[in-house]
Structure 1
Amino acid sequence: MKLKRQLLVASLFMLALPWAGCQYVKETESALRAGQLQALEATGQAVVALLAQQDWQLDTPTYQHESTVLESDADPVKKQTEHPSLFAPERPWRIIMDGYPDEWQSMPVRRLQHDDFAANLRLFTRKDRLYMLLEVEDRQRLYFDPTRGTANNGDHLVIRNGHGRDYLLAASAPGEMIARYQQGNRTRYQREIAGYWLDTSNGYNIELSMPLSLVSGRLGLYLVNASPLASEQQHLSHYEFSAQSLPPRLITTDNRLTQALELFTHAGLEMRVVDNQGWQRATAGEIDLSGYQASGSAPSHGALRALYRAILQRPPMPPKNESSLFGQWQTSDLSQAQDGDLTKGWYQQSSQQDRSLLSVALPIPSPKGVTAGVLVLEQSSESYLSLTDRAFGRLFLASSLALLIGASGLFGYASWLSWRIRKLNQATQQVFDSNGQFNGDSKTRAFQISRANDEIGDLSRSYGELLERVQQYTDYLQTLSRKLSHELRTPLAVVHSSLDNLTLQADERATKSTDESDRQMYQLRAKEGANRLSHLLTAMSEASRLEESISHGDAEMEKLDLAIMFTELTAAYNDIYQNHKINLQTDNPPLVALISPELIVQMMDKIVDNAVGFAPIESEILITLQRTEKSILICVENKGPLLPKKMQHQLFDNMVSMRDKKAADDSTHLGLGLHIVRLIVEHHQGKANAENLSDNSGVRFTISLPH
């Protein structure tokens, strides 16, 4: 059976375990959801019972005219006659009264518009004070002029409270503002109202704070956009402002009611109380459970939680569409609860799409027998998921144990296959050394071939055949030079002896005829050819002798100062190559390294001879010695033709040459010189590299030797 079919058959047995585990987890999750729904409903019933028994008066009764917090909107007549209320949520932070809106960015904005005159209004409360920001858009600002007879000239703001008193705020220049009000025929100042005027690019900002006791539960705003002509003044208000009109109510949260809700809240549960018009009167708790961990439970791993959530995925739930931009909630479950019906359901959590939200809305009865408000409880699925992490962890461990027992056979089989593949890989790597040569002699190069009747066995047999062919060809190439040397020396000896005899006979006859002169010329050419053949044979066997010498450890290593050694070599090279200028540059001595002097000299002979062969006559050949942290660099630079890109990595290979004709000294090059350089450098555990100069004027050879 093929390997693919074996793995397929073995993996089919594992499909039943995950399916059974998922079904069990889903059934458990359904039971948890039902339990959470009952627990949340029971909590809501307990809170409603507490709220129905107490009369929730405000801390300061003068804040509102109505008797209780929740019954303020219970009268259906007021719903028809009242102007839209203003909502000021409770916020914990303090602000600086400077007119800048930076601290107000998170607050909802009410837009007031009248032709070209408009303003943005923001409100919030902190403890017993009301804070307000008005961003007015006014093309032409007109400040208050105290020298004029009228008290309300210039752009100004009028604030009306629940007692019908009007507070006027105007500014003679940007800066602090003081509120004024009329008491009889006298103008008085209300210094408890702190205001600040700030000019902007398109108008001005008014930032102020005032005690809630001055508001008295109602708040009316009246902006006057003054003009040099009194008849052209524009008025802007958020309701119908007249001398007899009652301003809209200011809705704020009740701290005592909030404290009562906090007695029932816990992590992941949010509760809020709204009146019959949907105004939020109190809130406690938070749905977000980032970083929450149930008390007494061990922290669960993030991957385990992610797996749990993925298993418990259900069909998409409807999103809970809520609108509370200005503190007034409008939902279908609120409407049903206001009619006296309990509503509950699961929704998609808007902040995190992968979580569900459980919402319960319960009506709050009043002593008068009507619905005074609605209690809304919301809890994320994350709450009970966090509480059951430990239980799921135990279930996961038990399932993992069962899965481990079932998967042990497949794991063992996969391990056996992996071991066979690694063994084949190691056997292949051991055949060659780092230079791509075969390790050992012909008797120790055997590659163990597998007899298995599968894909790995076929691959092993194919490798064995391929390695056998490569080994035969490599042995042939390695013995080629020796065979040629042995086969060519005998005829060369015959040629040498014959030419010597011809020369001797020619000297004895001492003829001066033209034919005799031609014979001598031919004899000299034949002898030169024989010498050239002998030189070729010597060059071919030189690399083999050097490699054998290195492998047998004949080269002795010693520590020498390369600066002194290369100074002597440079002087010798200048005597030998008089048509070139060979210069030496070194770092500060000593430049000591463990080397074989004979091999290093031989290496430099090959590199310098190569540089002279390509450098123009009278050009400079520069030899430099540099010390780095781990090595000593030997660089030889010469002007001349550049290296082709394809040859830069093959230049040090055997029998590779860029010369296409004989050099000036009529010598023949086989491309063995740089190969000998590589052998010497590798014997010293160094590296050799050849590259073109950055200005493309020549070539640089770099040898790196460890010190």
Structure 2
Amino acid sequence: MNIIKSCWRWLLRPTLVRRLLFWQMLLLILVWSFSLMYSMTDDNVGSEFPKLNHSYILLTEIAEQLADTPDKQQQFIQRFDLALQQDYGGDIPGFAYRIIVWNGDKLLYRSPELPADLHYQQIEQFETLCSPSDNSCWNTYTRQQPESNIRVTFLASKLGGFLIYSTIHTKNFYLLPLITSLPLLLFPAWLTVYLGLRPLNKVIHEISQRGPGNLNALLFRPKHKELATIVDSINILLHRLRTSNARERSFIADAAHELRTPLAAMHIHVEALGQQVKDIRSGELLTGILSSTQRATRLVSQLLNLMRNDVIDKVSICSIDLETLLQERLAILSNLAWQKGIELELLSEQSLFIDGYREGVISLIDNLVENAIKYSPSESTVTVSLQKTDNNIELCVKDQGPGIPPALRERVFSRFFRAPDQSENGSGLGLAIVHAVVLQHQGAIELTNRQLDGSGLKVTVLLPAALPPVTDSIG
């Protein structure tokens, strides 16, 4: 059942190849139909009359030889008429050729379906004769050999639209060629479309291999005019994005850097003023100012980290022992955990290494652990585990906080986004920094809740594993 659904979805999904094939086959059908219609027009039908030259000569000679036996002459002309109808248009109702045979001004034979008031006007000329009796019109051509009194008028009905309609519905005349030729043409048409789209596939492959931070111009530029225009437009867009991002990073980095000095000075002055103030109310106000200053300082620090993590310099990439780095960062953050009465636990079986940007990985660990400490209740445990899975290293941070609703798990990676019911202070940049570091290291991140009731958050980060660095041995 799943296979049928997958096939059905594949058929319904629009593709450029199928679109090109559809229009090619439709164009073929239209060309075939219009060619058929043109061949059935009155001028083309009448153009067949001169091809009856041998039939006319045979009819004339035998009619002259049987002039003395009118009965046999009449039988022969009648049989000739039937044979002519079967050979020329006998499969199409009302389309078969008809004849009128004259001996001078004497009528020898007239096809039974013809009206009696049709009479030629010119010899060796195409004519259109209409009968007043039944309003039928006919394409005609009259022939007479020199030194012969026998004249033969060939007629074909002017059926117009009915002729085309009847021709389409005649078996083996329209549908059969289409039914037999279309399947045979599908593969050559698909092959030509596939070969024609190969340059486009090269462009798609180059784009798919790029990371989110690579805004450099596309290297492959096809020679084809239409595709080259698309690539040029993409490169112009990438240049605009690159310029805009550089301007944004420069502005935020400069602003954050300039804010650090006055914030640090404000923090020092508020602390000094707090030691001199004896009034309880004034002390509370200064404590609030000091807390706000600390929040602003942390925001500035996170902005600088975010700007640094936007671009990784290949020179800064080195081999990192995650277990050792985790021990160092947990030791630094243990004071923060102690203030809230939270225990930090590290679970790791062995030293595991990655190739990465050390400052970025430090930001990743600090933000994950600080968030876990911030949102965990007092006297709970924050567990950090490290293990190897296949070719990746799995870093998990688990807390016992309120968790994150499934509907918000993608939005929390956006800059400055915070849950509407959030009670803890924060800037909304922590998980954005974590997400940026994970993407730069070609990893993945997943947020899940530990408990069925939605409480407790488990953050799982997958980073590509690397071999331990080679150390020179002496002796």
Normalised to the residue count of structure 1, the TM-score between the two structures is: 0.33
Normalised to the residue count of structure 2, the TM-score between the two structures is: 0.46
- Bigger radius of gyration among the two: 1
Give the number of the structure whose residues are more often helix, by fraction.
2
Give the number of the structure whose residues are more often strand, by fraction.
1
